[in-house]
Amino acid sequence: MLNRKLGIIDLSKRKVKITQTPDNLKKAFLGGRGLNIHYLYDMVKSDIDPLGPENVLIFGTGFLTGTLVPNSSRFNVSAKSPETGILGDANCGGYFAAELRYAGFDRLIILGKAKEPSYLHVTDGTIEIKGAKEYWGLDTTDVQLAFKKDLGQVEAAVCGVAGENLVRFACVRTGVKNAAGRCGLGAVMGSKNLKAVVTKGTQGIEIAHPEKMFEVVEELKDYLMSSKITPILGSVGTPLLYEVSNAFGAIRTKNSQLNAWSDTLNADVVETFVDKMIGCSSCFVHCRHRNKLGGEGPEYTALGLLGANLGIEDTAHVIELNNICNELGLDISSSGTILAWVFELYERGIIDKKMAGEKLRFGDFELAKSLLYKISRREGFGDILAESTRNVERFGEKSKDYLIAVKGLPQSDPHDVRYMKAFALGIATASRGADHLRSRPTLEIFFNLPKEVRERIYGKGVTNDPTSYIAKEKPVYFSDNIFAAIDCLGICKFICHGFNSPHYVDYAWMKKLIHCTSGWQFKEKEIEAVGKRVIDIERMFNTREGITRKDDTLPKRYFDDPMPLKIAKGHHIDRKEFDKLLTRYYKIRGWDKDGQVKKERVRELEALQ
Amino acid sequence: MKYLYVYPEKCTGCRECSLACSLTKFGECNPKKAAITVIRDEFNKYEFPIVCYQCEDPVCLKYCHQNAYSIEDGVVIRDEDKCIGCRLCAVLCPYNAITAIDGEIIKCDLCGGDPMCVKFCTTGAIEYLDETEELEKRRKEMAEKFLEISGK
Amino acid sequence: MKLAIELTKPFSDAVGKRELEVDFDGRSVEELLQHMTEKYPKLRKEIYGETGEVTEYVIVFVNDKPISALDGTDTGLKNGDKLLFFFPISGG
């Protein structure tokens, strides 16, 4: 399993180099998100244009991807983000990553820019740069079907029309709905004239200790399947979260002017649109809804951000918007956030009909739909919206007060974080901007999580009160580290300890899985150290792009406007308390008071380069 | 006698069955090098596990000129020593249940009565069950349905 | 005392509705859970584990705080309290 190759493809020079990541680097970063940031930090110069040929685009599979290990389907796509100008990194499931490994590769690093539309064809140890003229302009499903027709049962990671047109929140897509959604990495593909990476392989992943793998995975299967959470995720999926967040009053509604919305988007309504639940490669959870309207989803994110946040109540409409985003290759989180932002700006008179070309309003499905198409083609007002959060300059400083974004990245999760302080710190400090998949620290609200379990996981002093700021740096620190580690392994967060449950795959499980697969003996602390290393280098990357303490903040509304509805009513983030919490977070991370990685640590990590 | 039964409506396409098969037979994880294959197409919306039905009158056995196949306790077994790797069985099997890859012929032997594929299926899409009349009926229905789909 | 209880899946499925108005003589959340599971036996398996302990798969809010931040199942209740039951789940 350690013999997979690293492909370095220079599209400008049309040169392919096949090499290997040395074992010492694999030991330091494992794979996936970790090795991606290692290479990115090394190869990307800080002053480059993310949409220029100097940007480096990396597709990296996880250390365990494609094996019998449960939910080991994942890969990370990384580059400098055209949406934020800092780290761009997105994790994705499906079948592409496993197939890339069966084709003999761990990772592809793509440099330069092709002269004409191209795709990479990766098969059993070889990489070819091929012309993609006939595939350019196709939607994400159509292009994948065309590749299957022309090349057989391939898996492909593609950009849509949005990526071709350099929409700054274009995603990379594989399959019907899996997306490396965030940070505009589809636009990086478009900027390189790269429509797709297409792969097919027959090379098995050799396992160091097959008997041991059977034993460990069978034990893990019993453990995962005995949890009450697994069957709920596998039958209802993430739409259950909508109902929970909504009942609570934590669903971002109409650009966070409100915090609760209609019951019509509840899981039992969504269920009426579900054909079958399906899974990604090696998945035990199978949370993917094959919907009756021709696509997959919606996930909680789509329900919240294309539903409540746009003021849309009809589930069928939300599913249609979800399917459109997927077909065009638009990131759902950014799409829903940016549209809601301009709807409110219009209501407030900050932008007018002259700029928008038409009247903007919440609750108008046809308007939302037509804007998504316009964004993807950069037509009219869509050309402006395609610039995402960079529009603060165009719309004026006042517009920033209503923007639900951090570090230029629209918030991913439809959860209004004003109530849960640890969650708020998480999105303020996440390495790619406002994002819940770096550290969603939600265990603290567990009903009867015994004190000793809580302390074992998070350390001492963390209270069970989600509204308290006391020691909330600890759950964020813990979650950051373990989620980074699981992203390096290529395992889905749905079975990661601390994401949905105080159970599931923790460092002890990771240690066993790494050992049976590769024969490598890691200590639990060493796996945690991989996670910490990743967080630190990601921060160093961002520091080089000018990120400092002032950027680790929250949307103004989260500080200044108390939540108006339901249980969460009245809650907001206190600036002083938040500032103290941030200081404590830096301290526990070992960063200086401005949030920078300390010099000796920088030297240590740069020595690995 | 116990056989494998597949329930495509429960199959999520994850391929843990194939991975377990390749791991037990070859020590590697490779869904294409397995005696059980999940035919899946998320665009055309199907997931279908293909297994050996252990036919009573199997063409693999009938046409093997090396007499490499035999039926032992209701299981169609290939003798590796007799097999010359001509792949005729893989070509002839009406269910495409025999895989030929990397110079290997892969034919399900039910893991000697403890099939690994079943162990790692989380939804019950493959089961290893005693052949009762009802199951036998279902099995034959499935085979007929499959023949119909494959146009043979 | 009268309590307003909002239930989400799977608790709402077990009870058959999403909102309950409960008239209740007890004192604490623990007693309320007993009262509710007696009245709605299907709720039992969602609330209690095999050993009879309250499972970790139910989060109960009393007004704006989870009972884990209050006194757990000993949390006292008073007339007019609003409760929310939900299943812990994450994702995006």
Q: Find chains touching chain A: ≥3 CB pairs under 8 Å.
A: B, C
The closest CB to that of B23, out of A68, A281, A290, belongs to A68
Q: What are the tokens at B32? A: 């294409």
Q: For residue A439, which residues of chain C lie inside 8 Å, CB to CB?
A: none
Angle at B11 between CA B6 and CA B17, to 5 degrees: 75
Please report the pLDDT score of residue A484 as a whole number.
98
In the DSSP assignment, the letter for residue A171 is P
CB atoms within 10 A of CB C22: 16
CA A182 from chain centre, in angstroms, equals 5
- C-alpha torsion angle, residues A330, A332, A337, A340 (rounded to 10): 90
Please identify, in words, the CATH class of the domain defined by A239-410: mainly alpha
pLDDT digits (tens, 9 = 90+) for A474-521: 999 999 999 999 999 999 999 999 887 778 999 999 999 999 999 999
The closest CB to that of B28, out of A204, A234, A281, belongs to A204
| Cα A470 from Cα A242, distance rounded (Å) | 28
CA distances from A541 to A41, A185, A253, A535 (A): 6, 17, 33, 10
Q: What are the tokens at B78? A: 């290939």
pLDDT digits (tens, 9 = 90+) for B32-68: 999 999 999 999 999 999 999 999 999 999 999 999 9
pLDDT digits (tens, 9 = 90+) for A220-238: 999 999 988 898 889 888 8
pLDDT digits (tens, 9 = 90+) for A228-271: 889 888 988 889 889 989 998 999 999 999 999 999 999 989 99
Supply the CATH number for residue B125's domain: 3.30.70.20
Please report the pLDDT score of residue C18 as a whole number.
92
Instruction: Give rounded-to-5 percent helix, strand, coil for chain A.
Output: 45, 15, 40
Please report the pLDDT score of residue C91 as a whole number.
55
Question: Residue B150: pLDDT above 90?
Answer: no
SS3 B30: coil
Tell me the average pLDDT of chain B.
93
**Which residues in B27-38 are b (16+ Cβ under 10 Å) and which e?**
ebbbbbbbbbbb
Interface contact flag, A446 C88, Cβ < 8 Å: yes
Tell me whether B20 touches chain A (CB under 8 Å). Answer: yes
Q: Closest residue of B to A287, CA-based?
A: B12
Please report the pLDDT score of residue C56 as a whole number.
81
In the DSSP assignment, the letter for residue A538 is H
Residues 26-85 of A with CB under 8 A from C: none
Tell me whether A267 touches chain C (CB under 8 Å). Answer: yes
Contact flag for B and A (3+ C-beta pairs < 8 Å): yes
Which residue type is seen at B49?
P
Q: Closest residue of A to B122, CA-based?
A: A284
Best mutation target among C18, C56, C70, C85 (most A Cβ atoms within 10 Å) is C56
SS3 A193: coil
Domain count, chain B: 1
Please tell me which residue, A467 or B141, carries the higher pLDDT value. A467
pLDDT digits (tens, 9 = 90+) for B59-92: 999 999 999 999 999 999 999 999 999 999 999 9
**Do A372 and A324 form a contact (C-beta atoms < 8 A)?**
yes
Q: For residue B120, which residues of chain A lie inside 8 Å, CB to CB?
A: 68, 217-218, 221
Q: For residue C65, which residues of chain A lie inside 8 Å, CB to CB?
A: 465, 467
| Cα A498 from Cα A505, distance rounded (Å) | 9
Residues 233-252 of A with CB under 8 A from C: 233, 236-238, 240-241, 243-244, 247-248
Question: Residue A447: pLDDT above 80?
Answer: no
In the DSSP assignment, the letter for residue C55 is P
SS3 A372: helix
CATH code, residues A5-200: 3.60.9.10
| Cα A82 from Cα A308, distance rounded (Å) | 27
CB atoms within 10 A of CB A374: 18
Q: For residue B114, which residues of chain A lie inside 8 Å, CB to CB?
A: none
Please report the pLDDT score of residue B137 as a whole number.
74
- Nearest Cα residue to A473 out of A578, A592, A556, A543: A578
Instruction: Give rounded-to-5 percent helix, strand, coil for chain C.
Output: 30, 30, 40
Q: For residue A98, which residues of chain B lie inside 8 Å, CB to CB?
A: 31
Contact flag for C and B (3+ C-beta pairs < 8 Å): no
Interface contact flag, A570 C64, Cβ < 8 Å: yes
The distance of C88 to chain A (nearest Cα, Å) reads 7
pLDDT digits (tens, 9 = 90+) for A71-108: 999 999 999 999 999 999 999 999 999 999 999 999 99
CATH code, residues C2-86: 3.10.20.30
The closest CB to that of A446, out of C9, C56, C84, belongs to C56
**Do A170 and A186 form a contact (C-beta atoms < 8 A)?**
yes
Angle between helices A524-544 and A599-606 (to 10 degrees): 100
Helix (H) or strand (E) segment spanning residue B39: strand B37-41
Q: Percentage of chain A with pLDDT > 70?
A: 99
Q: Are strands A5-10 and A105-111 parallel, antiparallel or unpaired?
A: parallel
Tell me whether B30 touches chain A (CB under 8 Å). Answer: yes
Domain extents in chain C = 2-86
* Domain carrying residue B109: 2-150
CA distances from A535 to A3, A430, A483, A555, B31 (A): 27, 9, 10, 23, 34
Domain extents in chain A = 5-200, 239-410, 421-553+574-606
Q: For residue B27, which residues of chain A lie inside 8 Å, CB to CB?
A: 206-207, 210
The closest CB to that of C91, out of A494, A502, A567, belongs to A494
Interface contact flag, C84 A468, Cβ < 8 Å: no
pLDDT digits (tens, 9 = 90+) for B93-130: 999 999 999 889 999 999 999 999 999 999 999 999 88
Tell me the average pLDDT of chain A.
96
Tell me whether B103 touches chain A (CB under 8 Å). Answer: no
Tell me whether A289 touches chain C (CB under 8 Å). Answer: no
Which residue type is seen at A167?
V
Q: Are strands C2-7 and C82-86 parallel, antiparallel or unpaired?
A: parallel
| Cα C48 from Cα A204, distance rounded (Å) | 45
Which residue type is seen at A488?
C
Q: Are strands A288-291 and A274-278 parallel, antiparallel or unpaired?
A: antiparallel
Interface contact flag, A284 B16, Cβ < 8 Å: yes
Is the peptide bond preceding residue A450 cis, with omega within 30 degrees of 0?
Answer: no
Give A446's pLDDT tier (boundaries 50, 70, 90).
Answer: low
CA atoms in the 13 A half-sphere facing the CB of A270: 31
Query: Which residues contact residue A297 at a Cβ distance below 8 angstroms, ignoring those fewer than 6 apart?
Result: A177, A288, A289, A291, A319, A322, A323, A326
| Cα A284 from Cα B135, distance rounded (Å) | 26
Please identify, in words, the CATH class of the domain defined by A421-553+574-606: mainly alpha
DSSP of B89-130: HHHH-TT--SEEETTEEE---GGGG--HHHHT-SSSSEEEEE
Q: For residue B124, which residues of chain A lie inside 8 Å, CB to CB?
A: none
The distance of C39 to chain A (nearest Cα, Å) reads 22
pLDDT digits (tens, 9 = 90+) for A101-153: 999 999 999 999 999 999 999 999 999 999 999 999 999 999 999 999 999 99
The closest CB to that of A447, out of C6, C9, C58, belongs to C58
Give A450's pLDDT tier (boundaries 50, 70, 90).
Answer: confident
The distance of A546 to chain C (nearest Cα, Å) reads 29
Please report the pLDDT score of residue A443 as a whole number.
67
Q: For residue A410, which residues of chain C lie inside 8 Å, CB to CB?
A: none
Interface contact flag, C56 A494, Cβ < 8 Å: no
Q: What are the tokens at A469? A: 């700021």
Which residue type is seen at A249?
G
Please tell me which residue, B135 or A376, carries the higher pLDDT value. A376
Please report the pLDDT score of residue A445 as a whole number.
61
Please report the pLDDT score of residue A534 as a whole number.
98
The closest CB to that of A278, out of B12, B30, B122, belongs to B12
Please report the pLDDT score of residue A1 as a whole number.
82
Is the peptide bond preceding residue C10 cis, with omega within 30 degrees of 0?
Answer: yes
Low-confidence winner among A312-316, A502-506, A599-603, B130-134 (lowest mean pLDDT): B130-134
Please report the pLDDT score of residue A227 as a whole number.
87
Residues 60-99 of B with CB under 8 A from A: none
Residues 523-562 of A with CB under 8 A from C: none
Q: For residue A241, which residues of chain C lie inside 8 Å, CB to CB?
A: 89-91
**Do A259 and A251 form a contact (C-beta atoms < 8 A)?**
yes
Give B138's pLDDT tier (boundaries 50, 70, 90).
Answer: confident
Interface contact flag, C84 A494, Cβ < 8 Å: no
The closest CB to that of B19, out of A68, A280, A284, belongs to A68
Interface contact flag, B122 A217, Cβ < 8 Å: no
Give A451's pLDDT tier (boundaries 50, 70, 90).
Answer: confident
Low-confidence ranges of chain C (pLDDT < 50): none
Helix (H) or strand (E) segment spanning residue A365: helix A365-377
Interface contact flag, C60 A567, Cβ < 8 Å: no
CA atoms in the 13 A half-sphere facing the CB of A261: 33
pLDDT digits (tens, 9 = 90+) for A537-554: 999 999 999 999 999 999
CA A38 from chain centre, in angstroms, equals 18
